[in-house]
Structure 1
Amino acid sequence: MHNAILDSDSEDELPLGWVERSTEDGNVYFVNTSNNRTQWTHPRTGQKKVIPKDLPFGWTKTMDANEKPLYVHLETGNKTYVDPRLAFATTEKKHVHDFRQRFDGSTTAFQVLHGVDLSGKYAVITGCNAGIGYETAKSLARHGCNILLANRNMEATQVAIEKIVKETNASDENLKAIHLDLSSLKSVKQCARAVKTVFSDHIDILILNAGVFGLPYEETEDKLDRTFQVNHLSHMYFTLLLEPLLKNGSRVVFVSSESHRTASLTNVFVKQNLAHPKDNYSAMIAYGNSKLYNVITAMVLSEEWKHKGICVNSLHPGNMVSTNLQNSWWVYKLLFFVARPFTKSLQQAAATTVYVATAAELEGVTGLYFNNCFYCEPASLARDKEIAHEVFSISLRMIKERMGTELIEPFIDKY
């Protein structure tokens, strides 16, 4: 089992003579060992604490010879009478956004998932045969998650599945490949239909990770700039098509970028076309705009689906992460080569995605933008509700013109 950096707040430390205990049904209480008095609230903060309903991943409970609960770590064989769930106790939230930062930019996805059991959970991840997406899939699979790896290259995806099984001892029965070419809206629709046949009941986690960076202008079969379509429009369409599988508690994660702060929407609304035009094309602006659209789409959908209990958030995985995205132009390769010693590893880059997709304290949290495993304020353009409405509306129209209104009628009628 991997090591984890467990968080600690000075005000959360117990006074001398106090210990933390748990009941069989998972409630936390505190004992004063000097007089054996007990109470439900923390003696220093006066707040209640809660622990997960289930044991951390890798632990089981048995009884000793005296019928006293004994906890055993399956991998190491270590035994303890202390409920391991107490290591993951959190202060009971008065508001859905009442959570503190437990991780930072140096945290890995494995550390985020320490003790988390994802058995019985179902996830769909786009762009996950390499890079950050691969590390995301590997991390979730290591903890028992059932995953559909949605990629364009099926041969590379199969290789990725074999690597994940070898590196994590995950079951290959929990990992399935499904074809998705984000440069084709037709392929997006076909993939969504295929997902529904495999995960016919529900999706717990939908991670929109795939993306392209620094491409010269190139039109897709849908007559759209490839960067715009792959990074934004196809992911938005895919998410809308999968809405029937998203239930109360499902999480949708848009992998955006801090580059959304470099977006320029000059003449976008006048031309009623969000894709960057061929004339005066800028690969960097096209990328920044597409990442802004990710944040906006997440915010709009978070409002639309809040009443259903579907949580939709966006995030930045890390600055200058060395992946295959930079291979589109030699200048980017050189830039990333020079900066590589100062960048995140792929495991660190996957941490925020994994955190937003699984963290217990984010239950019910929606409409936020995360960086380094904590929420922060996105760019002003992303916070402008009029702009957000216009971006979403034009995106819908662009989809409708090419694919009709099947399965997205409620949004067409509203926007």
Structure 2
Amino acid sequence: MPEESTPSSPSTSVSIARQPIFDENRRLWGYELFCVGEESLAGPDLERETTAISVAASAYMGLQQILKQGQKIMLNFDEMGILDDMPYALPPVHAAVQVDERVFLRPDMPGMLERLKSNGYLIAVRGFSGDPQFDGLYGLADIIAVPVIGRQRAEVATLLASVHDVDARLLARQVDDAAGFAMCREVGVTLFEGAFFKQPDTITVHKMTSSAASRLKLLQRIEQRDPDIDALAETIQSDAAISFRLLTYLNSAAFGFSQKIKSIHHAIRLLGWSKLKNWLRVVLLNDMSESAAAPDLLQLSAQRGKFLELVSRRHDFWGFDPESLHLLGLFSLLDTMLGTPMDEIVTFLPIEDKLKDALRRDANNEYLPLVQLAQCLEENRWEDADGMMQRLNLNRGKVTAAFKDAVEWADQLTSMQAG
């Protein structure tokens, strides 16, 4: 079970975070990877180089799981990374090498990119100006990625028509909601990245199922401040599915216990209730989710919860309760996961009214800016995040380290849960 680590030193280490990329049917296509560390705020060139080095060195623990599931990974490379053959540390067929247009102007670059493509790598172009001097690059491209935020349907259609002059798929970036997704899909976009998958689909909103309601009631019980451990153990053990998964998980090689764990009581005594509770939270949310993007929403919820907790711990002058903020982050995507209005969900949640208001996105809520900061970081919008940190009087180094640690913690937790 992952523990909270000591604050990382952002100047000496990085972690790799990911943004999911979906196809036109909202099926997961792959992930764009980016680094988390002080380098993230130091400029795009350093960020690209650091990400490539970290992934190539297998620092990203989720990489093998992504590849095993047959999904793609997309990374940014600068000209030095290409010339140093860094993409070849990644598996062909599954990897997309993403470059800015200006990289193509270097004399050696066309040949290097042609060689990568011939060896099975996808070539992705970051941005699309339509400038004729980049026609050679467009001809090589498998993917052209462009931001669509603020663009109208006619603009996206015109852009797509230009891209269709070359044989490449258009990846729409910064697709923020279901309406944007629908608009882009209608004009022929086939890959999508952005916050849209975190938003509830108003078309499929429905009443909460009895199964989800029972899981939320179990969440209420495990969040009690002074729980009756014996009663909780009996409640958990009465749920065959949860008990089977928990005992299988604890008896796996990942733990290496010398004795076989035979009951929930035994598990609680051996691990301790606080450690077991983290796992149970994720399992219960996973069981409730009805979204096609459930695995990514689950990981994001766990990551967001830990990030809010760590930010509050490392800025104690705010006076916020870290455990309460952990629950706020953990529950912040439940409306999307359940396809149920948040107004209905919060009636089941074991949190104070101010936190419920934050989940409802009350504009005047004091906790909401921290949720918005988390979203900026998740979407690799570092300039927006930097501005929010200044307005909130948060220490940039502490926030960056908290996000890095949260990424690692959630990756471990959800990987173990999946295993």
Work out whether the TM-score is over 0.5: no
The interval holding the TM-score normalised by the smaller chain is under 0.3
Say which structure is richer in helix: 2
Normalising by structure 1, report the TM-score. 0.27
TM-score (norm 2): 0.27
The answer to which structure has the higher strand fraction is 1
